[in-house]
Structure 1
Amino acid sequence: MDGSISETLPLNLTSTGEPQPQQKMNDVDGEDDHQSNNSDSGFKLKKELGLMDGVGIIVGIIIGSGIFVSPKGVLEYSGSVGVALIVWAVTGLLSMVGALCYAELGTMIPKSGGDYTYIHEAFGPLPAFLYLWVALVIIMPTGNTVIALTFANYILQPIFPNCEEPPDVAVRLLAACVICFLTWINCSNVKWATKVQDVFTSAKVLALIIIIAAGVYHLATGNVDHYHRPFHNTNWDLAAFATAFYQGLFSFAGWNYLNFVVEELKNPYRNLPRAIMISMPLVTIVYFLANVAYFAVLDRSEILASNAVAVSFGNRMLGVMTWTMPFFVACSTFGSLNGGIFASSRLFFVGARQGHLPQILSLINMKNYTPVPSLIFLGLMTLFMLITSDLQMLINYISFTESLFILMSIGALLWLRYKEPNRHRPIKVWLGFPILFFIICLFLVVLPIVQRPIELGVAISIISVGIPVYYLAIHRQKEKTNSFMDKLLYITQKLTLSMPEQKAD
């Protein structure tokens, strides 16, 4: 431990019985700085995120690997260009409706943790733990793994121009390196992480603008052959249709991630809904136009044969500037992975603070005010997921489990509307929105089980395993286990220079 820190900080006894440093946090909130220090002092995560940081997190996480990977999946399961475009438009509108519902939840329950917090508030600890369990095992690390693998595929594409795909070992190794690097960035400084997010969000938007502009030019010069029979080969099977929606919704995944960091957002009652209302229409329009461009330039067979649709598009349209597309896509996925690590680590932090994960994950670094143990744990889980590089299988795992627990979160909104009708709600959406969103999520959860029973059966089994884990590890904690965890907590505090959150009395 740095000598200057230990000399200036008073000591506090933690649950381990060992002396630990303690210091107060200086709230960084512009004009409210003095007031915050007087009324909300304590050792905790800082409120450092403004409106544009919120927009950057939502846009930066949503626009990631999905728009460059999922066009193939959406077309494969929908069957035709016309239905694929409808799926993209509807999934964008659906995500916008869901984001508005989460704006109500986030301002009614202004705590970090997102779905975990809302499910816990409405339905109690066991359903909340199951979400935390599946997020820990599937959703968060697997989603970050998909993005990291996509980054590696795109950045290596120009290095192996004569190969259909870069070598699998090289892809996994590069993905592991970028996961470790961004975990270090997020451990070091919140402002560094948000600066990375802002820069790479700009790069990914520029990449999509280039795709859209090239596609518009291609259509304007009379190349409209691919739109002559837009609904030819349509697959009207409902289960396949739901899977097409899975692929599209994966591309919009992240619209609820700002809810995970509400406690670090300045003036969340104002900035949370504003960030959502700026971000979601922007992303929906950009995604739809990007797919119009893809389908204008590439025919159905070319898209289905490509694992890197944006690169195939660049090879056809950009000539000597073809190399820019893999570069921009790599920038896009890099920024999305950074945002995913930043937001999802807060979920584990909140779960540990609530007592549903080891207390180690609720520690905060005393110098940088970042949840270092939670970030390191997430990084290790993400590295573990690199055992497979089957992106489509990973996407189906994520989409099913996310849809299931988003369904529960919207159910929480409806239940709290009924149970606590007079509760303070700074934002109250039209009741038809959560009802519509609930019905569609139910459709997305039930129907694909018929078409993909093995993959979804594995996901359901993992969720079910969380029930005995809850009762054995959480509900009935043993004294011996507590003693071991206390020692591990003390060692982790020493190694990471961290301590538990301490709010003012």
Structure 2
Amino acid sequence: MTGLVVLAMGKVENILPENTFDFSEKLPTVGGTAMALYNSLFAYAGWNFLNFVTEEMKEPHKNLPRAIYLSLPIVTIVYVLANLAYFIVLSPYEISTTEAVAVSFAEKYYGVFAFVMPLAVSMSCFGAVNGLLFTSGRIFFVGAREKQLPAFLSYISVKRKTPMPAMVFTCLLSLLMLLSDSIWTLVDYISFAQWFSVGASILAMLYLRRKHPEWPRPIRFHWIVPVTFLLFCFYLLVVPLYTEPKGTGLCLLMVLSGIPVYYVCVAWKSKPAAFERQQD
């Protein structure tokens, strides 16, 4: 609301500078746009996590679409308005030089109440981490239940009824990732792996939809929706591989390294009995 109020007061010089239509500056590249989308889409990644816990939802075929239809527009509107407010209040120089855009925005207009902004950001981060722990732990839990990961990750706490080993494992992996010296490199790696997984899932869904049309599908969309989404995933994967081959290529190799592990530990059905006992 602050941004809209300031805009209504006539402050437009930051979003409509004199050289708005001066194209002499270097325009964004296709590859640079893809990498920039990694950083922005990372903030919207929560839309996908509810799919991981559909097993625990009541009437998921009804409540899952409802949650998506309600949450996506609300989050999109709030985030877009927040970023619009930053661009209205702060100059391009201030945005490019500050370490925390939201804090600088609050300090400029909220005065003694500027502390509200870092507090709100902390609460948002806490909520995001809580959602990630709740959903991501279920991935390892289900993988172990399907014998794709060590069996201990499928154990459930008797007291709390939660997959505690899987959640602890998720926490340890998160702490390991924090050893990275660049948060942006980490975001790029995670985003590439995430969109690779999402794209593969959509491709598999289209294949199964054609291969097994008789299977029950409580939630259905016209084929144009997944195909359009798949094209967007293709752009986010192929373009960064060309423009940033070192970072994205390394991430791709790490993801593909799971294929031989899958064939040895899961697809190989005639394993020695001793190996099977160790897995169980």
TM-score normalized by the length of structure 2: 0.91
Whether 1:218 and 2:2 are equivalent positions in the alignment is no
Q: Is the 8 A contact 2:50 2:64 kept in 1?
A: yes
Aligned residues: 274
Q: Which runs of 5+ in 1 are unaligned?
A: 1-212, 487-505
Whether 1:313 and 2:105 are equivalent positions in the alignment is yes
1:170-225 alpha-carbon deviations (Å, 9 max, x no partner): xxxxxxxxxxxxxxxxxxxxxxxxxxxxxxxxxxxxxxxxxxx2212221221100
1:297 aligned to which of 78, 89, 110: 89
Whether 1:395 and 2:187 are equivalent positions in the alignment is yes
Q: Is the 8 A contact 2:145 2:154 kept in 1?
A: yes
Sort the Cα spacing of 1:254 and 1:277 in 2 relative to 1 into closer, same or farther, 3 A: same
Give the partner amino acid of 2:185. Answer: M
RMSD over aligned CA atoms reads 1.8
2:239 aligned to which of 447, 471, 484: 447
Q: Is the 8 A contact 2:195 2:236 kept in 1?
A: yes
Higher relative contact order (CA 8 A, sep 6+): 1
1:325-362 alpha-carbon deviations (Å, 9 max, x no partner): 11111111011101100000001111111110011111
SS of residue paired to 2:178: helix
Whether 1:228 and 2:16 are equivalent positions in the alignment is yes
Q: Is the 8 A contact 1:235 1:241 kept in 2?
A: no
Q: Is the 8 A contact 1:258 1:343 kept in 2?
A: yes
2:38 counterpart residue number: 246
Whether 1:255 and 2:43 are equivalent positions in the alignment is no
1:468 aligned to which of 257, 260, 263: 260
Give me the whole-angstrom Cα distance separating, in 2, the residues matched to 1:432 and 1:483.
Answer: 47
Sort the Cα spacing of 1:299 and 1:478 in 2 relative to 1 into closer, same or farther, 3 A: farther
Q: Is the 8 A contact 2:177 2:186 kept in 1?
A: no
TM-score normalized by the length of structure 1: 0.52
Give me the whole-angstrom Cα distance separating, in 1, the residues matched to 2:153 and 2:272.
Answer: 19
Give me the whole-angstrom Cα distance separating, in 2, the residues matched to 1:225 and 1:414.
Answer: 48
1:193 counterpart residue number: none
1:365-410 alpha-carbon deviations (Å, 9 max, x no partner): 1222110111111111111112124111111111111111111111
SS of residue paired to 1:447: helix
2:127 counterpart residue number: 335
1:228-256 alpha-carbon deviations (Å, 9 max, x no partner): 24565463411112112222211111211
Q: Which runs of 5+ in 2 are unaligned?
A: none
Give me the whole-angstrom Cα distance separating, in 1, the residues matched to 2:56 and 2:275.
Answer: 32
Give me the whole-angstrom Cα distance separating, in 1, the residues matched to 2:252 and 2:204.
Answer: 21
